[in-house]
Chain A
Amino acid sequence: MNTDNTQNTPNPENPEQAEDGAPRVENVNPTGGVALPDLESFRKRLVNRQRRGSIWARFMSLSLVVAIVALLALAYNIVDAAFGYVLTENVIEPTEVVEFVLTDVRNDTTTDPATVDLATLGASELAAVLREYQEPRLRVYIRDFLSVVPDDEFTQAPIRESLAGSSFRGQFADLTINDLDAAEWTLILGNNIPQDRLVGLVRTEVIGERILETWSLTESVTGFAEIDEARVAAVEGQNPNARLEFRSWLNINFLISPMSTNPAIAGIRTALLGTLWVMIITVGFSFPLGVGAALYLQEYADDNWLTRVISTNIRNLAGVPSIIYGLLGLSVFVIALEGITTGRSILSASLTLGLLILPVMIVNSQEALRAVPPSVREGSYGLGATRWQTIWRSVLPAAMPGILTGTILGMSRAIGETAPLLALGASTFLVVDPSGPFSRFTVLPIQIYQWTSRPSDQWRSLASAAIIVLIILLLSLNAAAIYMRQRFRRKLQP
């Protein structure tokens, strides 16, 4: 088949022409008198047909390339900021603190301070450190961590009231905090604040690591000479103790430290816990509701105009901008139902996000139920099952993989939502772990949003590290979804 010379020939599609070159077409004429193109013009046209196909194929592969490039750019952007050199300086070096503890508290002059990690010191030792270096602020720490009365009453109230729930010596119960001396304050701090919190406090208040300058991963790799110049300049100038280190902003301390005003020690502990709490309650709320509504629509409700209107509008609800759910949550869960949800709590956030993903859950569950073959239902009814037995024992198990997939899709959406929680009034700065459905909360996307909106590079690096955590969380969710779906499928199929 030689078609080379036909590449550029314009090809008039004229069926009348077919008669002269194609005797074979005339012999058999199943087309009822319509002459098909002869072989010559068919070949000419075939070249165009094939070429049109390959143009589309090229366009489609191009779209894929664009998508991949965009994804890579995004990943680069995040990773670039999350790793790199930082220039830091401590107000007081950790070894100095450890040395103080060893000599003045433990009376141990033989151990080398460099071999003892700050984080291994005991609570009372850390309290002693705070007294040594920050004595005037001891009462502030007590107020921030232990006080249960409003800040302006703290100094006047007897500690029986202001420190209710904390331990202190009984004879001081009727005195105010100002009546006690530094030794007592130290005792109260050491006895009531958990050791890991005291470590954090010493890091912020005593050691006071400050980040002077940060560089991105690209800069760290390509421009070390400049970075070193900056270090030398700092050491010779105002920051003689400045140190250069390569820092992964994503590290264990980042995961387990609470939010802080100092980017050197700020972490996402509260946000991570908040996200976990919110997700658990969100799914616990929307899964039964979503599956229940889908079951009712699919299995019980008559197929009339009302159910069709409802079904269509549930689909529409899935496309409503999430900020609207936030406003709804604000006026219903935070304000109107404050007595139940205690206002801006994890419960309010969960219910709002639950409503947000409910349409997705219903629609996906409905699809999954619809995909259950009628033979499954017939088989069950044929054995004398009631409708509920049929649903519970046959239809639901068969639809479960699809329902779970829908649930995880909903969760993936909820976990990244920021706007509705902002509208709801999520805390942007929170150092206290959420302890239950009624706690105040912050979640990862809020934390990220809050960090990215700050001006300096350090916060952007923190935000990037938090984004990586969020993405890992999302990917593991999706992986869990795929795993569960496959497991269910394997159970259902031979």
Chain B
Amino acid sequence: MTQNGAYAIELKDVSVYYGDNLAVDKVNLKIQNQKITAFIGPSGCGKSTVLRALNRMNDLISSARVEGEVIFREQNLYGPNIDPVEVRRRIGMVFQKPNPFPKSIFDNVAYGPRLLGIRNRHDLSDIVESSLKGAYLWDEVRQDLKKSGLALSGGQQQRLCIARTIAVEPEIILMDEPASALDPISTQAIEELMKDLVQNQKFTIIIVTHNMQQAQRVSDYTAFYSIRKAEETEGKERRWGVLVEFEPTRQLFESPKSEETERYIGGEFG
């Protein structure tokens, strides 16, 4: 399949609603291939919601509704003939809280390949080994692949989840605050792993983070989201998220175009 120019995925006027409430309004973004793109912004600005819209995880919430187009490999992911299962297999996701399955390390990594119908023990072993190596976890767990994934430390669990994700060879990996539940050393390991995944293993990563230093350390591009408010009748307030600015990371942090971005990265709100 030919690639859509240099873009891994493109958002056109993407709005997300929960029931009747607008959560994110008309986001337009072009994510670069084999780069790390960070989504930053204050709580409630909808950055996680946009991220989940990229592999149709929002489908799992029955009230959620997405408008606009998400173009991936020249196709709209919300088009009529798209199976979300295929979308999620090609656009993988790593969650905020490490969530290994209550199974052995081997079975955790082999879960995805088994879904795809790979049964041969030898093939599975190969995939497990290369995925664990790709997630920098192999040397730590090669002795006890039969141990429960839940017996690992938090940082190891998150790397196991990354190994599990890359075992199905997705084209894009979405990460929803992958290090926010981890200690600084584990965080550093995850950040180095992310850089390696992009530079040496040719993945494209989109990461949501609360941590602006993290965005500066790892990402090539940064999208800053913020909140808009409107007074409704009866004194009720309506809030929704918007994309404020999207630039190469250095440019966004050193010379932001929007005054709101400048105030946020200066620590004035958030």
Interface residues of A (CB under 8 A from B): 302-303, 373, 375-386, 389, 393-394, 397-398, 491-494
Q: Which residues of A contact B112 (CB under 8 A)?
A: 383-384
Query: Which among A303, A379, A493, A494 has the greatest number of chain B C-beta atoms within 10 A?
Result: A379
- Which single member of B89, B97, B151 contacts A383 (CB below 8 Å)? B89
Q: Is the CB of A376 within 8 A of B99?
A: yes
B93 close to A (CB within 8 Å): yes
Assess the A383–B88 pair: CB atoms within 8 A. yes
- 25 A-B pairs with CB atoms under 8 Å apart are A303-B62, A375-B97, A375-B99, A376-B102, A377-B60, A378-B95, A378-B99, A379-B95, A379-B99, A379-B101, A381-B88, A382-B55, A382-B88, A382-B92, A382-B93, A383-B112, A383-B168, A384-B86, A384-B92, A385-B85, A393-B115, A397-B103, A494-B147, A494-B148, A494-B151
The interface residues of chain B lying within 8 Å CB-to-CB of A398 are: 102
Task: Please tell me if the beta carbons of A376 and B101 are within 8 angstroms of each other in the complex.
Answer: yes
- Which positions 90-119 of chain B face chain A at CB distance < 8 Å? 90, 92-95, 97, 99-103, 111-112, 114-116
Complex contacts, B34 vs chain A, CB 8 Å: none
The answer for the CA separation of A379 and B86 in the assembled complex, in Å, is: 15
Task: Determine the chain A residues whose CB is within 8 A of the CB of B223 once the complex forms.
Answer: none
Give min CB distance, A272 to chain B, whole Å.
39
Residues of A within 8 A of B114 (CB): 393
- Which of the residues B101, B147, B168 comes within 8 Å of A394, measured between beta carbons? B101
Q: How far is the CB of B63 from chain A (nearest CB, A)?
A: 10
Q: Residue of A at shortest CB range from B63?
A: A303
How far, in whole Å, are A183 and B55 apart by their CA atoms in the complex? Answer: 88
User: What is the bound-complex CA distance between A491 and B151, given in angstroms?
Assistant: 11
Q: Given A384-B112, A385-B85, A492-B102, answer yes or no on A378-B151 (Cβ-Cβ < 8 Å).
A: no
B165 within 8 A of A: yes
Residues of A within 8 A of B212 (CB): none
The answer for the CA separation of A393 and B112 in the assembled complex, in Å, is 11
Q: Which of B160-176 contact A (CB under 8 A)?
A: 161, 164-165, 168
Q: A376-B99, A384-B115 are in contact. List 5 more A-B contacts (CB 8 A).
A: A382-B88, A382-B92, A385-B85, A397-B103, A494-B147
CA distance A376 to B97 in the complex (A): 11
- Chain B interface residue count, CB cutoff 8 Å, equals 32
Most B C-beta atoms less than 10 A away, residue of A303, A379, A382, A397: A382
List chain B residues, Cβ under 8 A from A493: 102, 148, 150
Judged by a CB distance under 8 angstroms, whether B198 is at the interface is no
Contact at B150–A494, with CB atoms within 8 Å? Answer: yes
Residue of B nearest to A382 (CB): B93
A36 to B86 Cα, complex, angstroms: 64
Contacts of A380 in B (CB 8 A): 101, 111
When C-beta atoms are compared, the residue in chain B nearest to A378 turns out to be: B95
Residues of chain A contacted by B150 (CB below 8 angstroms)? 492-494
Please determine whether B111 and A382 come into contact, CB atoms closer than 8 angstroms. Answer: no
Cα distance, A28 to B39, chains bound together (Å) = 45
The 6 closest A-B pairs by CB, nearest first: A384-B89, A494-B151, A375-B99, A492-B102, A382-B93, A383-B112
Contact B97 A385 (CB under 8 A): no
Does chain A have a CB within 8 A of B265? Answer: no
Closest chain-A Cβ to B156's Cβ sits at a distance in Å of 12
Complex CA–CA separation, A303 to B62 (angstroms): 9
Asked if B57 lies at the interface with its beta carbon under 8 angstroms from chain A, I say yes
Chain A residues, Cβ within 8 Å of B93: 378, 382
Q: Which of B58-74 contact A (CB under 8 A)?
A: 60, 62
Contact, CB under 8 Å: A385 / B115: yes
- Determine the main DSSP class of A at the interface with B: helix
Closest-by-CB residue of A relative to B98 is: A375
Question: Do A382 and B115 have beta carbons less than 8 Å apart?
Answer: no
User: What is the CB-to-nearest-CB distance from A462 to chain B, in angstroms, rounded to a whole number?
Assistant: 49
Contacts of B88 in A (CB 8 A): 381-384
Bound together, the chains give a CA A100 to CA B254 distance in angstroms of 115
Point out the residues of chain B lying under 8 angstroms from A379, CB to CB.
Answer: 95, 99-101, 161, 164
- Residues of B contacting A494 in the complex (Cβ-Cβ under 8 angstroms): 147-148, 150-151
Q: A492-B102, A493-B150 are in contact. Are A383 and B95 (CB under 8 A)?
A: no
* CA A394 to CA B165, docked complex, whole Å: 16
* Min C-beta distance of A371 to chain B, whole Å: 13
Residues of chain A lying within 8 A (CB to CB) of residue B92:
382-384
Provide the B6-27 mask, 1 if CB < 8 A to any CB of A, else 0.
0000000000000000000000
**Beta-carbon contacts under 8 Å, B124-164 to A:** 147-148, 150-151, 161, 164
Question: Which residues of the partner chain B approach A302 to less than 8 Å between Cβ atoms?
Answer: 62
Nearest CB on B from A363, distance (A): 23
B115 lies within 8 A of A389 (CB): yes
Give the residues in chain A near B94, CB-CB below 8 Å. Answer: 382
**Bound-complex Cα distance A493 to B152 (A):** 11
Rounded to whole Å, the gap between the CB of A467 and the closest CB of chain B is 41
CB contacts (< 8 Å) of A382 on chain B: these are 55, 57, 88, 92-95, 165
Is B86 within 8 A of A383, CB to CB?
no
State the CA gap A107–B46 with chains docked (Å).
101
User: Nearest chain A CB to B57's CB is how many angstroms away?
Assistant: 7
CB distance from B213 to the nearest CB of A (A): 27
Please give me the residue from chain B that is nearest to A398 by CB atom. Answer: B102
For the complex, what is the distance from the CA of A320 to the CA of B97, rounded to whole Å?
Answer: 43
Q: Is the CB of B102 within 8 A of A378?
A: no
Which A residues touch B164, using CB under 8 A? 379, 383
Across-interface contacts of B102 in A (CB, < 8 A): 376, 397-398, 491-493
Chain A residues within 8 Å of B60, by CB = 377-378, 381
User: How long is the Cα–Cα vector from A162 to B111 in the complex, in angstroms?
Assistant: 65
A393 and B62 in contact (CB under 8 A), knowing A378-B95, A382-B92, A494-B148? Answer: no
| Complex Cα–Cα for A494 and B88 (A) | 28
| Contact residues in A for B165 (Cβ distance below 8 Å) | 382-383
Which residue from chain A places its CB closest to the CB of B99 in the assembled complex?
A375
A376 to B148, CA, bound (A): 15
Cα of A78 to Cα of B81 in the assembled complex, Å = 70
Are A378's CB and B57's CB within 8 A?
Answer: yes
Q: Nearest Cβ distance between residue A246 and chain B, in whole angstroms?
A: 54
Which partner residue on chain B sits nearest A374 by CB separation? B60
What's the nearest-Cβ distance from chain A to residue B166, in Å?
10
Chain B contacts for A384, CB-based, 8 A? 85-86, 88-90, 92, 112, 115-116, 168
Q: Which residues of A contact B89 (CB under 8 A)?
A: 383-384
Question: Nearest chain B CB to A61's CB is how many angstroms away?
Answer: 39
A393–B95 alpha-carbon span in the complex (Å): 19
Query: What's the minimum C-beta distance from A201 to chain B, rounded to whole angstroms?
Result: 58
User: Which of B55, B97, B99: most chain A CB closer than 10 A?
Assistant: B99
**A381: which B residues are within 8 A, CB to CB?**
57, 60, 88
Complex interface: chain A residues within 8 A of B111 (CB): 380, 383, 385, 393
Tell me the minimal C-beta distance from B154 to chain A in angstroms: 13
Taking the closest CB of chain A, its distance from the CB of B117, in whole angstroms, is 11
Give every chain B residue within 8 A of A378 (Cβ-Cβ). Answer: 57, 60, 93, 95, 99
Q: How far is the CB of A391 from chain B (nearest CB, A)?
A: 13
